[in-house]
Amino acid sequence: MFLTYHFSIELFKLSLYNNFMKQPKKLSTVRKLKSNRSEAFFLVVRGVEVGIFAGLVSVLYRYLLSFAENGLLSVLALVKNDTPKTVLWFFVLALLGLFVAFVNKFEPYASGSGIPQINGEIKGRLSPVWWRVILAKLVGGTTSVFAGLSLGREGPSVQLGGMAAKGVAKVTKADKTTEQRMISCGAGAGMAAAFNAPLTGIMFVMEEIQHSFDRNILCMGIVSTVVADYVSKLFFGLDTVFNYTTVNFPLQYYWVLLIIGIILGISGVGYTKIMLKTQELYKRINKIPQYIKLPVVFVISGAVGLALPQVLCGGHSMVEYLMKEHPTMAVMFGLLVAKFFFGALCFASGAPGGTLYPLCVLGTYLGAFLGSFALKITGLPEGLWEEFAVLGMAGFFASAVKSPITGIVLAFELTGNMKNLLPIATVALISYTVSNLLGGEAIYEALLSRMDVSQNDIEYQRSSEKIIKSFVIPTGSDLDGKKIKEVDWGRHALIITVERGDESITPNGDVVLQSGDEIVFFVSQRRLARTEEHLENLFAEQYKPIN
């Protein structure tokens, strides 16, 4: 730990030297676009910085939540069958709920999961103060888990990693383009540290946060997620979440995967709709202030803890119970339903904490339940039962989050083997396709669109600095074959280069665009949110104009 700390301090000093002594505060266009070995080196250095600090913050959060969960179990054992102590515990829970309500008031952007807030930051819709978010998330998240709320660590770790990276960027006086890249990579590093899954971290950045390919973010992100994963493993070891003997899924039974994928796709869409509706209903009770509603939720959590403690907190103990005890279908279904409705209430309350791992737990239980039924009626080998649990997690994730590649990679890294990759990919892609056909919303994008953002507080609205953004033209895009001058890029976006393979093309109106081209823009920071939304729609396979 001392070596890690010492190494991080030296890297921090190196970054300060590079920023203050070697680089001017305002970089020229030529300097910003120049791609050479020196730039690649500094991307790696930035990635190491981000990985270390995002990893350390995520590790701290994991330790705090572990301490809170152990404390909760001790309290529940103490108050069980003791009425006076139970009443006292409920009173303490109400006070904790009141405390978390004030934490949310202190820093509103620390409430909830944290993933929508990171998405909003990257899109230019909000710009919270990094240290306030970290402080509020650590305190509020730990308090919420100690109260037993069904909230996970993974979503908050994404936000904590992003805010830690933003802090490094602010301290080292990085320009806005570098800062945004660091925030994206910090978010991926936080996820890598939370799941012990570096590939999942970088895929999450590219698929869920960026929604596009950026070679600079990819370079920095790979380094940051690997470093954060290393930091995490220094403290928590090398064990994977799912330890089981893999049995090859028989090819003649792949039709079962088709059915499982369809059910998971429908379930993921339903999950998103119900979660969003629950949040909407909770907010409609606006006559009751949050400092009263949140204590009520905390007291309800206390009652649930006495009746069904298995569904408390993130759900790691639920997964361990499932994989070790192999409960009956009735028990699995009961825990699944209880976890879903209790999780929906905790999510709607806005208490600091994540929905990502509880979502994975629901998928795991749903997959195990469907697998148990399939084993009874198809004659599949009994050893495939645990395989269905992993398939359920990947498929449910792909449908609800709308990030199928991340779901596939996550399932692979959590199991630690490649033998189940084909069935996992099959289920995830079918589930994702069904979700698209049903018009399902990506849950974190939907949450961002519903977030109350005060434009007067956005730092981006006051800045005249330019940010570099890049987009790749997909196959089948309306842009393929068009000249630059034939496209309405928006008033606040300026094309500065077209990357085609190893060639950098200086843009002019007569350049004909091709699928696979990476178009690099200068975007006005003041108009970032609207301009990026326009460009994302423009680079979609089929252009959908913004109303």
pLDDT digits (tens, 9 = 90+) for 525-536: 777 778 888 888
Report domain extents, the chain. 2-236, 251-449, 464-538
Q: How far apart are CA 312 and CA 317, in angstroms?
A: 9
- Pairing of the two strands 466-472 and 518-524: antiparallel
Q: In this prediction, what percent of the chain has a pLDDT beyond 70?
A: 88
Bridge partners, residue 354, by sequence: 152
Residue 508 CA to its chain's centroid (Å): 38
Q: How far apart are CA 303 and CA 272, in angstroms?
A: 26
Q: How far apart are CA 82 and CA 74, in angstroms?
A: 14
pLDDT at 237 over 50: yes
Joined together, the tokens standing for residue 214 give 């950026």
DSSP character for 440? P
Determine the CATH number of domain 464-538.
3.30.70.1450
- What is the arithmetic mean of pLDDT over 161-187? 92
Task: Spell out a b/e string for 397-406, using b for 16 or more CB atoms within 10 Å of the CB, else e.
Answer: bbbbbbbbbb
Q: Which residue has the tokens 């710009």?
A: 127
| Predicted TM-score (pTM) of this structure | 0.84
Per-residue pLDDT band at 9 (split at 50, 70, 90): very low
Bridge partners, residue 519, by sequence: 471, 498
| CATH number assigned to the domain with residue range 251-449, chosen from the 4 options 1.10.3080.10, 3.30.1360.120, 1.10.3720.10, 1.10.150.120 | 1.10.3080.10
Of 171-185, 242-256, 466-480, the range with the highest mean pLDDT is 171-185
Bridge partners, residue 505, by sequence: 498
What pLDDT, on the 0 to 100 scale, is given for residue 11?
A: 43
Per-residue pLDDT band at 24 (split at 50, 70, 90): very low
Q: What are the tens digits of pLDDT across the range 68-112?
A: 999 999 999 999 888 899 999 999 999 999 999 999 999 999 988
Residue 308 CA to its chain's centroid (Å): 28
The distance between the two most distant Cα atoms of the chain, rounded to a whole number of Å, is 80
Sequence-ordered list of residues with C-beta below 8 angstroms from that of 459, at least 6 positions apart, any chain: 127
- What is the arithmetic mean of pLDDT over 216-241? 88
Sequence-ordered list of residues with C-beta below 8 angstroms from that of 102, at least 6 positions apart, any chain: 291
Q: Do domains 2-236 and 251-449 have the same CATH topology?
A: yes
Contact assessment for residue 220 and residue 43, using Cβ atoms and an 8 Å cutoff: yes
Q: How far apart are CA 194 and CA 302, in angstroms?
A: 26
Q: What are the tens digits of pLDDT across the range 538-547?
A: 887 554 444 4
**What is the second-level CATH architecture of the domain 2-236?**
Orthogonal Bundle (1.10)
Contact assessment for residue 125 and residue 374, using Cβ atoms and an 8 Å cutoff: no
What pLDDT, on the 0 to 100 scale, is given for residue 112?
A: 85
Between 457 and 82, the more confident residue is: 82
Q: What are the tens digits of pLDDT across the range 183-203?
A: 999 999 999 998 888 999 999
Q: Residue 499 in 3-state DSSP? A: strand
- What is the arithmetic mean of pLDDT over 351-371? 92
Q: Residue 102 in 3-state DSSP? A: helix
